[in-house]
């Protein structure tokens, strides 16, 4: 006899060659000591019973329904298979309290339930002992919030709390990880808080398929590589592009950070920037039913201090109205010479959940000022890669380097349940971004192995504005034995931008011996309009399900329209325009031979705005439609109970322009082909031991190049090996003490396509930390949590990555992080 875990999906068919249900046991609770323990836990038991969860459990044999209930509620469910045999359950679909859902499942079965702890419930044959509840037949009247709803409908955390059981899959809405035909991971706000993440990018430190392409404290945003392709800092906010702060969204914005690996044109549409290798979605924070008052004070070496306030309340007879405010401020000197970082965030989240209508609004302002900005480093053609300089010396930088970023953003959403199975929704958002900078150079390029360079300082003034909207419908229906989950969406994004750069007089510097020079007097230019882009699309998809959702086939397509124009910044005259469309289809399949095993495969495309051939070519003026990248992927996911593993194999082909030298024409004939294997894992395989991480093996090859001169070469910035191992251990010898650790390894990577080829060496980073949770003496029943972490424990200097031979960057130095969080 064993206990079925809260994430147990299995009827555990397949024990042996044929399979069958695994046994499950009744927990015996007759001990007086245990009864007293239950009395002490009563407040937490009541909170768990009243917690609302989005359930989607079809009518089926009771044993299977209880397994699904445990997985979706986050509870550990123990029951005797013999007692459940021959019994069936009603269907549950929508948002309801866990106890309400359990009553509905057990109604009329003659079985009882008893909460045995804050995270466990026992099902038995009769109501015996304190707390047992015997149920009469139940009729579920009306309906709760349907499963296809998105507002306040976040999938619960998985075992260990670092990763969620599901994610938002763009157009398709929320999907359980085992029902998702892609490799997708959703990291929780708890993980972000426990690792003391500053930005959204920090939250991804344990993902083996993700690497940063810019350093912290530099002028660009949080650009990354996913599956070996560049992914810009444009992330979706609740599935919508253009809303989040443009360059470095703070981690406190996110309830979840969801990484979808691979292109996603059918699911999310064409992004404002590049997202062929993958995309990132941020789930907004909402007020929990029980309210929240939390204050955090933090310190980062060598002199950054700050705090975070997170306050939430719900109002109304049924807690219909929710308000949540997050305020963050931190400032001070970093571990790098001259480099200071000041950040502030004010974010207000509002929501209303009625019988058929749900509304939400998120209104925010983020400010960042970086002093002593780190420039990119680079090497000129033919110059060997120099040794990695000490980043603490701010190589190539200046004390007067600075950048100021301001982001004002807001989004409102609404959902209306036309019927229990049909939900219509609409979203409208706007975002204004302003940037001003004084730089000694965007990149300091070494002209020899000794690190000498000449740089030209400049000022930058820039603005970007976004207005975006989406309307759509998600519906569920049945045609005989086939179920349908239908989704339709229409989107539009208008993106305007302008900038001005004013250059100063050049001066000499050295990346190993950087001397401060007098701040130049360079005027700040006026940022006039330079471009405007409108991205609009129509998308339709249907997921066909059969055999109790053991077979799920998704077919869909998106028609994407791209309109853009460029303008002369001085005269305002339009210099060129672009107006093209592309249809991007997708097919994906999930097959579950056993309830806890999913085999999946997908064909999906990614889109990039095409280009117009320049005037110096014979075919000048030719306009190319949006470029289509194509992915083929297969994989297998296994939920072992408290540990989920994913193995996937993928191929992504991205086209590019090449030049036919003989005819002096440009054509869409180039290609980079990335083939890879991924192994990911997350969960709590042993009580008190949590793990997250994985391995990616990548073969990224240039397959079609100009004249075939570099065919077969490994693509730049595509390491063949990326490894991430993160772990936590709750020590048994000191209750409340957790030790943490992380290992990050990145293989060697080429950074250009010239001969002889130049390469960044491989590197490894080690992080250690601890946290200690204890009772808050100022608030009974609440906790104080102290956290400490050190990143780059060995204080290693290394070349971490980049985007080209003139835009390389170094790994960050050893950094200490310390925080204290108090709940009231």
pLDDT digits (tens, 9 = 90+) for 62-99: 888 888 888 788 788 888 887 888 777 777 766 677 88
Q: What is the pLDDT of residues 665-681, one digit of tens each?
A: 888 888 999 999 999 99
**pLDDT band of 106, cuts 50, 70, 90:** confident
Helices 42-50 + 98-106 axis angle, to 10: 70
pLDDT category at 583 given cuts 50, 70, 90 is very high
What is the per-residue pLDDT for 779? 84
Show the beta-strand stretches assigned E in 482-550. Answer: 482-503, 507-510, 529-546
Q: Of residues 602 and 776, which shows the higher confidence score?
A: 602
- pLDDT given at position 47: 56
Residue 569 CB neighbour total at 10 angstroms? 18
Average pLDDT of 118-130? 64
pLDDT of residue 220 exceeding 50: yes
Structural element, H or E, at residue 42: helix 42-50
- Residues 6+ away with beta carbon under 8 Å from 52: 95, 96, 97, 98, 289
CB distance 186 to 258 below 8 Å: yes
- pLDDT for the residue 12: 32
Q: Is it the case that residue 29 has pLDDT exceeding 60?
A: no
Residue range 320-328: mean pLDDT, rounded? 97
Do residues 374 and 338 make contact, with C-beta atoms less than 8 angstroms apart? no
Element containing residue 259 per DSSP (H, E): strand 254-261
Model confidence at 441, pLDDT cuts 50, 70, 90, reads confident
Best mean pLDDT range from 29-33, 151-155, 214-218:
151-155
What mean pLDDT comes out for the span 286-294?
93
Residue 425 has pLDDT above 50, yes or no: yes
Cβ atoms 301, 333 nearer than 8 A: no
pLDDT for 565 equals: 93
Give residue for tokens 């970007």. 464
Beta bridge partners of 673: 653, 701
Higher pLDDT residue, 695 or 93? 695
Which whole number is the average pLDDT over 380-385? Answer: 94
Using the predicted structure, report yes or no on whether residue 119 has a pLDDT greater than 80: no
Confidence category of residue 217, pLDDT binned at 50, 70, 90: low
Pairing of the two strands 376-379 and 357-371:
unpaired
* pLDDT at 621 (0 to 100): 82
| 82-86, 257-261, 518-522, 741-745: segment of lowest average pLDDT | 82-86
Residue entry with tokens 């499950």: 24
The mean pLDDT value of the chain amounts to 88
Quickly state the pLDDT bin for 219 (edges 50, 70, 90): low
Residue 506 has pLDDT above 50, yes or no: yes
User: For residue range 613-633, what is the model confidence (pLDDT) as tens digits?
Assistant: 887 888 888 888 899 999 999
pLDDT tens sequence across 170-201: 999 999 999 999 999 999 999 999 999 999 99
User: What percent of the chain is modeled with pLDDT above 70?
Assistant: 90
Q: Is the pLDDT of residue 23 over 60?
A: no
Which tens digit of pLDDT belongs to each residue from 523-579? 999 999 999 999 999 999 999 999 999 999 999 999 999 999 999 988 999 998 999
Please report which confidence band the pLDDT of residue 46 belongs to, taking 50, 70 and 90 as the band edges. low
Q: Which residue has the higher pLDDT, 4 or 542?
A: 542
Q: Tens of pLDDT along 328-345?
A: 999 999 999 999 999 999
The answer to whether the CB of 171 falls within 8 A of the CB of 279 is no
Q: Stretch 210-214: mean pLDDT, rounded?
A: 86
Q: Is the separation of the CB atoms in 98 and 51 below 8 Å? A: yes
pLDDT in tens, 795-815: 999 999 998 999 999 999 999
Give how far Cα 101 sits from Cα of 74, 97, 150, 475, Å.
13, 6, 19, 22
Tabulate helix, strand, coil % of the chain (nearest 5): 10, 55, 40
Percent of the chain with pLDDT over 90: 70
pLDDT band for position 49 (cuts 50, 70, 90): low
Answer yes or no: is pLDDT of 658 > 70: yes
Cα–Cα separations (whole angstroms), residue 161 to 23, 95, 186, 701: 26, 21, 11, 38
SS3 279: strand
Cα separation, 604 vs 263, in Å, equals 7
- Alpha helix segments (H runs only) across 300-426: none
């Amino acid at each position: 006899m064993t206990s079925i875990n809260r994430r147990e999906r299995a009827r555990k068919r397949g024990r042996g060659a044929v399979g069958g249900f695994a046994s499950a046991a009744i927990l015996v609770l007759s001990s007086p000591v245990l009864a007293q323990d239950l009395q002490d836990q009563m407040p937490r038991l009541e909170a768990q019973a009243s917690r609302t969860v989005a359930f989607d459990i079809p009518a089926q044999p009771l044993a299977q329904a209880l397994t699904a209930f445990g997985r979706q509620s986050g509870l550990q469910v123990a029951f005797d298979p013999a007692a459940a045999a021959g019994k069936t359950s009603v269907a549950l679909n929508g948002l309801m309290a866990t106890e309400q859902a359990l009553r509905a499942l057990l109604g009329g079965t003659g079985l009882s339930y008893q909460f045995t702890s804050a995270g466990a419930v026992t099902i038995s044959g009769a109501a015996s002992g304190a707390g047992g509840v015997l149920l009469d037949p139940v009729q579920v009247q009306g309906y709760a919030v349907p499963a296809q709803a998105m507002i306040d409908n976040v999938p619960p955390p998985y075992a260990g709390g670092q990763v969620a059981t599901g994610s938002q899959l763009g157009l398709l809405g929320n999907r359980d990880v085992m029902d998702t035909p892609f490799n997708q991971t959703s990291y929780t706000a708890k993980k972000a808080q426990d690792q003391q993440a500053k930005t959204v990018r920090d939250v991804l430190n344990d993902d083996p398929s993700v690497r940063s392409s810019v350093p912290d404290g530099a002028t660009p945003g949080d650009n990354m590589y996913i599956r070996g392709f560049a992914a810009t800092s444009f992330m979706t906010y609740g599935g919508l592009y253009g809303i989040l702060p443009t360059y470095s969204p703070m981690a406190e914005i996110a309830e979840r950070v969801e990484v979808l690996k691979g292109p996603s044109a059918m699911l999310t549409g064409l992004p404002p920037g590049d997202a062929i290798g993958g995309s990132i979605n941020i789930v907004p924070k909402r007020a929990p039913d029980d309210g929240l008052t939390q204050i955090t004070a933090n310190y980062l070496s060598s002199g950054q201090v700050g705090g975070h306030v997170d306050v939430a309340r719900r109002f109304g007879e049924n807690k219909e109205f929710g308000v949540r405010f997050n305020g963050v401020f931190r400032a001070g000197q970093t571990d790098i010479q001259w480099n200071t970082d000041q950040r502030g965030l004010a974010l207000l989240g509002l929501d209303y959940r009625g019988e058929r209508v749900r509304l939400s609004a998120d209104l925010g302002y983020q400010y960042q000022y970086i002093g002593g900005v780190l420039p990119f480093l680079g090497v000129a053609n033919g110059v060997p890669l120099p040794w990695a300089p000490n980043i603490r010396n701010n190589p190539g930088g200046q004390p007067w380097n600075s950048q100021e970023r301001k982001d004002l953003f807001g989004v409102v959403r609404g959902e209306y349940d036309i019927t229990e199975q049909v939900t219509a929704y609409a979203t409208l958002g706007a975002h204004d971004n302003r940037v001003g900078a004084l730089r000694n150079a965007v990149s300091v390029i070494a002209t020899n192995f000794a690190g000498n360079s000449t740089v030209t300082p400049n000022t930058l003034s820039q603005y970007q504005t976004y207005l975006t909207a989406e309307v759509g419908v998600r519906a569920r229906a049945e045609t005989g034995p086939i179920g349908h989950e239908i989704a339709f969406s229409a989107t539009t994004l208008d993106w305007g931008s302008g900038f001005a750069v004013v250059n100063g007089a050049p001066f000499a510097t050295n990346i190993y011996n950087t001397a401060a020079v007098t701040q130049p007097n360079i005027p700040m230019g006026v940022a006039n309009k330079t471009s405007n882009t409108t991205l609009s699309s129509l998308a339709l998809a249907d997921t066909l399900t059969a055999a109790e959702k053991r077979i799920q086939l998704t077919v869909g397509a998106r028609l994407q329209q791209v309109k853009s124009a460029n303008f002369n910044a001085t005269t305002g005259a339009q210099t060129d325009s672009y107006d093209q469309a592309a249809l991007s289809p997708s097919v994906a399949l999930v097959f579950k031979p056993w309830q806890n095993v999913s085999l999946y495969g997908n064909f999906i495309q990614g889109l990039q705005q095409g280009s117009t051939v320049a005037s110096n070519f014979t075919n000048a003026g030719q306009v190319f439609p949006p470029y289509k990248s194509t992915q083929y992927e297969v994989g297998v996911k296994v939920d072992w109970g408290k540990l989920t593993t994913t193995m996937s194999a993928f191929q992504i082909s991205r086209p590019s322009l090449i030049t036919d030298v003989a005819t002096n024409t440009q054509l869409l004939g180039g290609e980079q082909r990335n083939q890879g294997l991924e192994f990911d894992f997350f969960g709590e395989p042993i009580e008190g031991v949590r793990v997250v991480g994985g391995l990616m093996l990548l073969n990224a090859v240039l397959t079609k190049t100009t004249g075939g001169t570099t065919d077969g070469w490994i693509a730049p910035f595509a390491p063949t090996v990326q490894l991430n191992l993160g772990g936590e251990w709750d020590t048994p010898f000191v209750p409340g003490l957790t030790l943490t650790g992380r290992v990050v390894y990145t293989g060697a990577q080429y950074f250009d396509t010239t001969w002889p080829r130049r390469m960044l060496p491989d590197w490894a980073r080690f992080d250690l930390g601890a946290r200690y949770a204890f009772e808050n003496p100022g608030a009974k029943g609440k906790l104080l949590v102290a956290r400490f972490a050190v990143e780059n424990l060995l204080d290693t200097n290394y070349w971490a990555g980049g985007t080209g031979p003139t835009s390389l960057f170094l790994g960050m130095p050893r950094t200490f992080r310390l925080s204290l969080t108090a709940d009231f």
